[in-house]
Structure 1
């Protein structure tokens, strides 16, 4: 399938780059923050105390400021932020227990001072002095269930429900007592031969948040959280391991996936025999795929080919004709040729390929506060903040 590679002529702001001194693969935007542009990055160091960097971006002056919190529990493999409380987050981290490495999940609170102007410029030679510790709220104690690969917060929820994926278990937790207690309310187990293991998952924002999608090996599965039973299974969704999933925020049955076959695929889960669309623009494993929260034709992907790609998947978006589809648009109106022309879906295209990274890009995330801004993180600790090309932004808005 040929995709247009469009160039959007217009002067755009340069990317802004921030370097952590440690390797890193965990990134999230601060979900509950709708005003400030803020991302959280978790480090992976074997020798030193690990850290969470709170990255604030001043959009008007193109300046990054940061504050650092200590995460002494271990190297961070996954980070996610509460949808309800800016100061609360979860991590999955490695720790050594009885001479073997286990991956645990926990919920943390940032100290009260993190927001009170303790931010520094990354170039300040005195920065990172006396970073504060995160406060442990509770462990998602999954020792009976294996290693935690991710913690998912209920979308748009009150911050009281999370799912942890641990080996072949999906565990639904209730957080009580201001998140200091976690109890398992229900669970689902992946049955089958061999060592089955969830690699990633996504809690659907649709259907009253009663559905979960998970990836294991080359398969994608849907689960009904009310019964913890499987509702669909796309057996060979990718030729190799599926790395990441994301739901279209505006189309309840649409799901994006990416994997080690270098492909990004888009699915309608009502018809799982084949993908609605497939992208093959990366030359190595694709680790991360994210729909824009407001304009679902904009899709970000990050890969270990060191590139971030922004695609305009307008034909399968909620606005395939450049505006929201109404039933009236699809009625048998007058046979006006001009009318027919405007009813052809717009063509999908690759908007931009970003080459600021020199190492595997493990995570891409849209800002929760600014729909036109996104961050990407590569393993060497480089965080890059980019914007959607201005001409495309106006094209979508006007």
Structure 2
């Protein structure tokens, strides 16, 4: 079973990387196109997002680090050069949210989430390229986040700022998010970024930041009664939502354990392993009979958002594989296999490449969504392939 899974995911990783190599470079204005639809029709004048470009950089770098390939490394170089030239703010530091198709500044707010993904990507790129400037840039962005965004009194990171790091009225990542100062999503990806940075720069203060972030999840984000994650808080850590995000629940489990393992904190590892099983079991309630994982649930209205998004399925595969590795309970591995079967059947675009954004309750493709866009990136699906391939390989050695 594991051998077949590894082979299939290796093929899928190759296909994902090939898609982004073949369809997404912007040969006119540099970097990568900002929008491509399900029929692979590009919108050449679409804005270009810092999150999309950071995730492209991470994916090509991570694919190269798993299986060295000159073409992937060249794409990583392309992404790195574009980010440095157009997204890094040379005056105030940090990362612009978006630029236009020519690279001109568009949305200059400093979203901590975007800086986190850039740190994450630069760290991975340094591992692939050995370029000292990339490592230095990642460290600089980290130090700026601690200086400008970290809440020294109450811990945690404020969500967003103006271009010159002043308070901003609209803190949201997207229109669907609550306008609150501290969010689970941003903290999860700050943790992810710092973990990857620690791999290339094992700094003592960075280690403390990672430990504090892990503590934030146990103190605030993980609801001990439901074992689901709370998404939004004000700056004083007062809860501001009850929405359940199944994809974030299962994604957080393995990212938290990875963080503790990378900094070699055995005390946290033990607590996190127990949490991984508890949250995985809570996430099972969001699984449909076909193996797909639903998007969100609103307890107050008893409303299940009956959509199955690509990234949620990718995180389910890794998170439940992680639960199986911890517990050796076959039910978790069975979920992984069934989840991958669902992805192959419903989410992969076998004719035109990449993964669809998602499907609706009736099994139809969600209309009007991107194949490539500000949020539709190669990161979740390529990472799921890379993580499981790596974990199966480690088990067999």
**TM-score, length of structure 1 as denominator length:** 0.33
> Larger strand proportion, structure 1 or 2?
1
Higher helix share: 2
Which structure's CA Rg is the greater one?
1
Higher relative contact order (CA 8 A, sep 6+): 2
